[in-house]
Structure 1
Amino acid sequence: MKDKSTKSNGKKPIFKKWWFWVIIVVILAAIFGNSGTNDSIKDETKDAINSTEQQATSDKFVEDVKTAISGAIDSDNEAITDIALKDKDLCVTVDLSKADSSPLTIEDLAISRTSSITDAILELTGYDSQWNTITVDFGDVGKVVCDKDSIKENEAGGRYFPSENFTLK
């Protein structure tokens, strides 16, 4: 009889078998192949969250503008018909069709309302990143476009647009 202790076992160790290495390669391919997919899902999720947050911030900005400018017009004969933020242009639409502008002209009244409306909006300093221009549209009378770069500050620290920039187009 042969002694087992003197003779080595005839089996190869598991790491020397071909099928062992095939399994390892498949497992590693699965691990590394899925790691990129997870990152893209995270990026898509972050983009969706950022888009939702920006939309919520934009909506809050428009609501705060509505509140801020509500006292800037004569509510009996004048009306703010729309406030919209699109491509960083805040557009405020004002209906002056029923307004009595005497002793001013309707154009002078529009310029006056532009000053009141933009002054109220400029008090909302927390939203400066939301807009680049403010357009106050008076329909047939014309519209005034105010660019963020033309903001001035008075001695008391209040911000305003210079009235010489208010031209109806």
Structure 2
Amino acid sequence: RLRAVGSPLGLLSPLVTDRLGHLPSDALRPSDLDALLVTERIFGPLGAAVQASVFITLATHPGLRAEADRLDAADAALDDTVDPHDPRVEELAAQHCAHHEALLHAIEAAGLDVAEAKLFETYDAEASGEEDPRMSAFEAVTKMPYGFSAARTRCMELTARLL
């Protein structure tokens, strides 16, 4: 499949590569591909195909990509020296929430949400009713090699609450 597609996108299922096929070859970053591969492993092709909307949007909206990069750098700065109750943690969570809202707006403006709805309809129509042998999302997350600081964990929790 990798040879057939002719790019690292061949590592992903056809459902995902079909959504990304219109992008220039350098539009996705290696970290984007990694995220899609992990998502596909945990949530299956449908989960990764839905997540692809975010990467399509980031690839086509440089301002949103720049803000995502800035937020990633700010997240990385939330190391063990930062108190989880530092006001910067709450401020960063609010910025994450605002960025997420801007991403959703851009996804809707591009009609990618409609494409996602069609994916769900197709998936539901083709579902065989058999149980999928993949591990649960909780199991997968507990196996991730991440060790987030208390401040970063609190920022993620606050962001989730705000959304």
Q: Same fold (TM over 0.5)?
A: no
Q: TM-score, normalised by structure 2?
A: 0.32
Larger Rg: 1
More helix by share: 2
Compare the two structures and name the one with the higher strand fraction. Answer: 1
Higher relative contact order (CA 8 A, sep 6+): 2
- TM-score, normalized by length of structure 1? 0.31
